[in-house]
Amino acid sequence: MTGADEDTGQDGPLEICIPDLSLVVLIGISGAGKSTFARTHFRPAQVLSSDVCRALVADDENEQAATPDAFEVLHYIAAKRLRRGHLAVVDATNVKREDRAELVQMARDHDVLPVAVVLDVPESVALERNASRPDRDMPSSVIRRQRAELRRGLRGLSREGFRKVHVLSGSQQIESVRIRYEKQYNDRREDSGPFDVVGDVHGCLFELELLLTRLGYQLRRDDQGRAVDAEHPQGRRAVFVGDLVDRGPDSPGVLRLVMGMVESAHALCVPGNHENKLVKALRGRNVRISHGLEFTLAQLQAEDEGFRKQVEEFCYGLVSHYVLDGGSLVVAHAGLKESLQGRSSGRVRDFALYGETTGETDEFGLPVRYPWAREYRGRATVLYGHTPVPAPEWVNNTLCLDTGCVFGGHLTALRYPERELVSVPAARTHYEPARPFLPAEAAPLQAPDQREPELLDVNDVLGKRGIETRLAGRVTVRAENAAAAIE
Ligand SMILES: [Mn+2]
C-alpha cells in the first residue's frame, strides 16, 4: 500500500493522528521506551503489553519460554476489544515481520485500521536503559539483532498493510510527541437530523424535484433554470442512499442538485454501486458500459469538462456509509450488518455498496443477494436502497427505500425520526427492469428482503434477554425463564 500517511522522523515536537478505533502497533527494540510511551498516551485498559501477559501466565515478565502463551492471551484480549469497538495498543517489540502480519490480519478481521508507531532509538540508549533495569538481563547481542530487524522492516510497513505509519526518531522526539485522535469519516453520531432519507434516484430529476418539494424543500435554480440547491425552511437535511445516476433521463441534473445540496450542507450522500462504476469510467478505467451507465456517459458528454471533473471528485469522495444520531441511524446504499457499522475496511465498503451476494445468479442472470436484513438484530435503524421493492417494508429495524422510480415505480423518502414515508410516482417507465419488480396482477412478487413471518430466530428468545416494556422500563428475562417462551 502506498496510500498510507507516513511521517518520517524529524527533530522537534510532532503531532501524530490516530483513528479513534484502530489497532495501534508499537514497534521498537527492548529499551526503546514503548511502555513509557504507552503509559503516557493511552489509558491502562487500552494497552496490551507482552511483558504483562508473560507475568499473567508465568508470574515472571521476563520468562521468555512463556512468550507463545503470553501472545495468545494478548491477541485474545486485543481481538475482544476490537470486536466491541475499542481501540487497542500492542506494547511488544513487534520487530519481526511475521508478528506484525498477525496483527495486521487481526485489524482486518475486525474492520479497523492498523496503525504502526515506530520508536526508533540508537542502540546505545537501549543498552543503557536495559543495564539500569535490575529485573532484566538482556544480552546486547539480542538488542543488536532486534535493531537490525527493525531497520530492515522500516521501509515496508505501509506495504505490510499499516494504514498509517508514524516513525519517531530519538528519545527527544519520542518524549515530545502529541497524539490527536481522529474520528472516522463515517462517524456523524453527533448529527441527529432531522433527516429525509431518499432512495435510489437513478437520473430521475423530475421526480426528485417533486419529492423534495413535497418534503418541504425550496429549490434554488441557476440562471439557466437548473436546480442547484434545495433548502428546508426548518433546517431538515436530505440523506441520499446512493445510485443517483444511470438508466434515467437526467443523471447530470440529479448530480448538479445533489452536489449543490451537499456543498451547502443541506444534504448528505453515500455512494451507490453506480457512482462507484461511474468514477472508474470517468477515470478511463476499463469497465463494462452497461446497466444504464451508457446513458449517463452520453448525458455527461453534453456537460463541460469542469463539471465532469467535479462529478468525478464528488463521487470519489463519498464515504461508504454514515452512522448518525448517536448511533441510532445507519445509512448505506445496500445496507450494513451490525458488525460492520462504523468500521473502515475494504469489506465494509464492499458490503455497503454491493451487499452480500450468494455467488449464484437468478433466472434473470442477476446475482442473488444474501438477505442480511432478515438476520439483522442491531440497535441502529438501517436505511438503504439498492434492491428495488414494490413498497417499503420494515424488516427488523431496516428499511429499503428503493421503490424503483426509474422502472416506473416511485421515488421514496423516509422522514427521520418521524418515520413517515413520502413518495411520488414515476412520471413514466424510464427503463425496463431486467427482473420485473412491480407486482404482476396474477402472481404478486415477494419483496427480496421480506421476512418469512413463520421464521423465528431461536436466539431471539433463548438465553438471558433484556426487554423494553412500556410500563416497567427495561426488564431482564433470565435464561431459564426465557426457555419457556419458545414452547
Ligand atoms: Mn440502484
What are phi and psi for residue 338, nearest 5 degrees? Answer: -60, -40
Q: Per CATH, the architecture of 187-454 is what?
A: 4-Layer Sandwich (3.60)
Which pTM does this prediction carry?
0.81
Ligand 1 centroid vs 247 CA: distance in angstroms? Answer: 10
Ligand 1 centroid vs 224 CA: distance in angstroms? Answer: 29
CA terminus-to-terminus distance, the chain = 54
Ligand 1 centroid vs 326 CA: distance in angstroms? Answer: 27
**SS3 annotation, the chain:** CCCCEEECCCCCCCEEEEECCEEEEEECCCCCCHHHHHHHHCCHHHEEEHHHHHHHHHCCCCCHHHHHHHHHHHHHHHHHHHHCCCCEEEECCCCCHHHHHHHHHHHHHCCCEEEEEEEECCHHHHHHHHHCCCCCCCCHHHHHHHHHHHHHHHCCCCCCCCCEEEEEEHHHHHHHCEEEEECCCCEECCCCCCEEEECCCCCCHHHHHHHHHHCCCEEEECCCCCEEEEECCCCCEEEECCCCCCCCCCHHHHHHHHHHHHHCCCEEECCCHHHHHHHHHHCCCCCCCCCCHHHHHHHHHCCCHHHHHHHHHHHHHCCCEEEEHHHCEEEECCCCCHHHCCCCCHHHHHHHHHCCEEEEECCCCCEEECCHHHHCCCCCEEEECCCCCCCCCCECCEEECCCEHHHCCEEEEEEECCCEEEEEECCCCCCCCCCCCCCCCCCCCCCCCCCCCCCCCHHHCCCCEEEEECCCEEEEECHHHHHHHHC
Ligand 1 centroid vs 426 CA: distance in angstroms? Answer: 15
Ligand 1 centroid vs 386 CA: distance in angstroms? Answer: 4
Domain 5-182 has CATH 3.40.50.300: yes
Q: What is the residue extent of each domain of the chain?
A: 5-182, 187-454, 456-487
Ligand 1 centroid vs 387 CA: distance in angstroms? Answer: 6
Ligand 1 centroid vs 385 CA: distance in angstroms? Answer: 7
Distance CA 80, CA 252 (A): 46
- Nearest CA to 188 out of 84, 80, 270, 82 is that of 270
- Nearest CA to 486 out of 466, 456, 465 is that of 456
Ligand 1 centroid vs 417 CA: distance in angstroms? Answer: 24
Note the pLDDT of residue 461: 53
Ordered mean pLDDT values, 10 residues apiece, the chain (487 residues)? 47 81 96 95 97 96 93 98 96 96 97 96 91 81 94 94 94 93 95 98 98 98 97 98 97 98 98 97 90 94 96 97 98 96 93 86 78 94 96 96 97 98 96 75 44 51 55 57 47
Ligand 1 centroid vs 440 CA: distance in angstroms? Answer: 21
Asked whether 243 and 274 are in contact (CB, 8 A), the reply is: yes
Ligand 1 centroid vs 267 CA: distance in angstroms? Answer: 19
Ligand 1 centroid vs 362 CA: distance in angstroms? Answer: 17
Ligand 1 centroid vs 374 CA: distance in angstroms? Answer: 20
Average of per-residue pLDDT values in the chain:
89
Note the pLDDT of residue 476: 58
Ligand 1 centroid vs 343 CA: distance in angstroms? Answer: 23
Distance CA 22, CA 180 (A): 13
Distance CA 248, CA 244 (A): 9
